[in-house]
Amino acid sequence: MHRLDLVRALSIAAISVFCVMIAAPTAHAQSAEAEALFVDGAKLMTDGKIAAACDAFEASNQIEARAGTLIRLGECREQNHQVASAWSAYKDALTRVKDPRKRAIATAKVAELEPKLSYLTVSVPAVSRLDGLTLTRNDKPFDATLWNRALPVDGGDYLFVGRAPGHDDWKATVRAPIDSGKITLDVPKLEPTNKVVDVVTAPPPPEVQEDPPAPATTFTTKRKVAIGVAGVGVLGLAGGIVFSIQAKGKQSDAHASCVDPQMPCANADAANALIKSAQSRALAANISFGVGAALAIAAGVLWFTGAPETPAQQVTVVPTFAPGETGVAILGRF
């Protein structure tokens, strides 16, 4: 052998030994862990702590699957009244067993438990298979490949939930017996989701309270004006009386100054002045009487036409004055 070939062969051997040295502790550590859990499981079984023992055997089998561990796990599940899980563990042991004695144990147990299995069928007809439909069993996905199949199950309660986009969730709980049960769960077509939209209704506008009609009164606007006009008319009549008294008084004084108008009188100028003043007072009295009378008439008209009037009725009283006469003009539309 050439020297180069010898060096190459020694290098490959060294690498192989190094790889074995690295891998060996890992494999040994895993086996030791699995063995420790197996021993714990056996001790717990002896102490009657069945559920804890099953957990220990399950953990050991996950680290290193062995036929012996699976047989002990089957025994534990069987004592815990989990027939389907025990049957499954014995079946898995048959796929790994090499020892004839262990094979015989696993075979016998599979044959013994198979007639005792409980089966659960989740029936999902075509009409129920909505787009996006998913099922869960005890909060774990329940694959569509398992639908419409009789599956071995342990005894106990199973919660199924169905969901599909745009549809309400469907839930159902089914109880399987510990052994020899045949259960079918029908999944219905999910109901469409009814989305409730909150409609905000505006409150109705407040009612407008109309002012109640004013009660009918005797003293309407026209009648109030009539009272005012009557008051002024009374003042006019009173003024006429005063002027009339004054005119008569001055006329009497004039006659007293000159008793005989045919005879010369020393107080003629004063008498004439008194006569002129009397005439002025008489004219004022006539005007005052006329105005007062006119206003009195106007007040009367306004009073009588002032009872509840209609818009079509309009009355206007206008005093009129002319040389030597006074009066009122009544203008209106009826």
Q: Mean pLDDT per 10-residue run, the chain (334 residues)?
A: 46 38 40 91 94 95 93 95 96 94 95 96 95 96 96 96 96 95 95 70 70 67 76 77 78 69 67 76 79 78 67 54 57 55
Tokens of 243: 């002027």
The one-letter code for the residue type at 151 is: L
Alpha-carbon distance of 277 to 271, in angstroms, equals 10
pLDDT the model gives residue 276 = 77
Reduce the DSSP state of residue 191 to 3 states and report it.
coil
Any residues with CB less than 8 A from the CB of 118 and at least 6 apart, and which?
A: 83, 84, 152, 153, 154, 155, 176, 177, 178, 179, 180, 181, 182, 183
Distance of alpha carbon 275 from the chain centroid: 99
Closest by CA position to 155, among listed 49, 48, 80: 80
> Alpha helices of the chain — where are they, by DSSP H?
3-46, 50-63, 67-79, 83-96, 100-113, 221-257, 268-305
Alpha-carbon distance of 9 to 5, in angstroms, equals 6
> From the CB of residue 168, how many other CB atoms can be counted at a distance below 10 Å?
13
> Which residues on adjacent β-strands are paired with residue 325?
322
pLDDT the model gives residue 251 = 72
CA 269-273-276 angle, 5° bins: 140
Closest by CA position to 89, among listed 74, 72, 69: 74
The length of the chain is 334
Closest by CA position to 233, among listed 141, 300, 165: 300
H/E element holding 319? strand 314-322
Tokens of 279: 């005439």
